[in-house]
Structure 1
Amino acid sequence: MIQDFELAAWNLTYLCIQPRLVYKQLFYHKQTKNIWARDDPATVILVVFALALSAIGWGVYYRRSPFGVAYLAILMIARDFLGAGVIVATAVWLLSKVFLVPSDPASHEIGSSLEWGYAFDVHTNSFFPLYLSLYLIQLFLAPLITKDRWVCLWLGNTLYLVAFAQYIYITYLGVNALPFLIRSELLLFPLIPLTLLYVISLLGFNVSSAVLRLYFG
């Protein structure tokens, strides 16, 4: 059990500095367990724990009551992480069946398909660097990036750009690591509208202020 958490902590650390290395470990897992998806909840538990800590931090910053902090933690865990994960994992799983398998059935390995559980693992991996940017770093930068100055707008919007770009890229790496899928580069397409929206936002829309107002009222 302790080893599971040590490995999960190692994976989460390297997802932020060298995400390709994390997915290189998949082949060892597949050879020993005969599945691509994780067979332990350690990574999910660590992410849930990190979100709970962030909820406390945001609750203190916005002076929420203990019940308000608990409600915030539930939102972050159930909606932002688990709910969004179910949606993203299902979308990637369906996309893989339509666009990412070889058109020639003979070239597709029997029994080789993207497991829904693995798609959720990919979401979990991609979510953690986003968590660090938007749930942790943004907390410390909130007094600055919500100010009505262009440089503050630029800093906050760039933080969101980096967070979602990391999410998209690590999701791509996770799908691209499976040897029986093709055209995984399609998963990088959201980077185009993301970049365009970022450029447009620099004309005067502070993403951080808008999101925090929506989130905390």
Structure 2
Amino acid sequence: MKYSTSPTPSRSNSSLTGMYRTTSPLPPPANYRTDCMSATSKSYKYLRRFIKFDQMDFEYALWQMLYLFISPKKVYRDFNYRKQTKSQFARDDPAFLVLLVGCLCVTSIGFAWVLSLGFGQSILFLLYVVFVDCILCGMVVATLLWFIANRYLRSSATDIDVEWGYAFDVHLNAFFPPLILLHFIQLFFYHHLISQDWIISTLIGNTIWLAALSYYIYITFLGYNVIPNLRNTRIILVTLPLVFLSYVVTLIIRWNLSVSLMYFYHYRVL
């Protein structure tokens, strides 16, 4: 369900309250903000909270991680509510990112065991996964989608820009389910089943990849679809048939993607 755009600062408080009540069933909070912080101020506030663990809501971040698996739409309803109350879609609490990095650390230990890596190689592997695979690649993807959304998907040039911080949050949301599927669940079946030269091994390994990529695309779509001033966001879902077609091709040629991933990870840290 989409909501109307948030009120602009130039409108009166009464009109703001009226608009809030037309877009949300909840009463406007006492600290409802009618101004928007600059991107620099938002970034500073977000980064400053990294060293204040007592101010992070880890319980709520865990709730979001759970619902990204079972009902991603509920997570994005909260992003809409944040826009109504705090004048921004992006998170102002880094707890989700902290927990995500923690999950990467835990799953990297499992990968190091599966790949038989030494201590130094395990540390290098962890650095690659956190800072390259998750953060750097995420920044590239977020920047690309942020540019496309603002340049081609906005209803009009006068509409409010999509926040880059929110684009990065969408990436983090979409990254979590594939992380659990590829970096955690898959490890339990790799040596005894997925790594074997059997047709069923390729089927199971590539099906896990299909599920992971489908999660990423669908959650990314939900993230941009929830923004009221964007149109034609369903174009993101066009990549799903392409992913499924690639999945079928890999089965036909018996290319086990999971084994290729393991080879890539292993030789990257040698």
Aligned residue in 1 for 2:122: 69
Map of 1:119 onto structure 2: 167
Deviation at 1:2, TM superposition (A): 5.9
Residues 140-173 of structure 1, C-alpha deviation per residue, up to 9 Å, x if partnerless?
1211111100011000001001100100000000
CA contact (8 A) 2:56 2:93 kept: no
Counterpart in 1 of 2:187?
A: 139
Determine helix, strand or coil for the equivalent of 2:81: helix
Question: 5 Å matches for 1:101-180?
Answer: 101-102=154-155, 104-105=156-157, 108-109=158-159, 112-143=160-191, 144-180=193-229
Whether 2:131 is the aligned partner of 1:78: answer yes
Aligned AA (1:129): P
Give TM-score scaled by structure 1 length: 0.94
In the TM superposition, residue 124 of structure 1 has moved relative to its aligned partner by 0.3
SS in 2 for 1:25: helix
Higher helix share: 1
Matched position secondary structure for 1:178: coil
| Equivalent position amino acid for 1:128 in 2 | F
* 8 Å CA contact retained: 2:115, 2:262: no
Mapped to 2, the partners of 1:58 and 1:96 lie a distance apart of 36
Partner of 2:33: none
Deviations 1:157-216 (A, max 9, x none): 010011001000000000001111111001112112211110000011111111111111
The question of whether the paired residues in 1 share the 8 Å contact of 2:83 and 2:89 is answered with yes
Asked if structure 2 preserves the Cα contact closer than 8 Å seen for 1:125 and 1:170, the reply is: yes
SS of equivalent to 1:189: helix
Sequence identity of aligned pairs in percent?
37
> Could you list the per-position Cα deviations for residues 17-64 of structure 1 after superposition, in whole angstroms to 9, with x for gaps in the alignment?
000010011122112211111111111110101001111111122222
Number of aligned positions between the proteins = 212
Alignment of 1:35-74 (within 5 A): 35-74=88-127
Extract unaligned runs of 5+ from structure 1: none
- Determine if the alignment matches structure 1 residue 212 to structure 2 residue 265: no
Residue range with higher mean Cα deviation, 140-149 or 163-172: 140-149
- SS of 1:131's equivalent in the other structure is helix
1:191 aligns with 2:240: yes
1:84 is aligned with what amino acid? C
Partner Cα separation in structure 2 for residue 160 and residue 93 of structure 1: 25
> What is the rounded CA distance, in whole Å, between the counterparts of 1:88 and 1:193 in structure 2?
18
Q: Aligned with 2:186: secondary structure?
A: helix
In structure 2, the gaps of 5 or more residues are 1-53
Q: 1:97 aligns with which of 144, 150, 156?
A: 150
What is the alpha-carbon distance in structure 2 between the residues aligned to residue 39 and residue 189 of structure 1? 31
**8 A contact 1:99–1:183 mirrored in 2:** no
Q: Report the Cα distance in structure 2 between the residues aligned to 1:11 and 1:155, rounded to whole angstroms.
A: 28
Return structure 1 stretches of 4+ with deviation > 3 angstroms.
none
Instruction: Report the TM-score when normalising by structure 2.
Output: 0.76
Instruction: Name the larger-Rg structure.
Output: 2
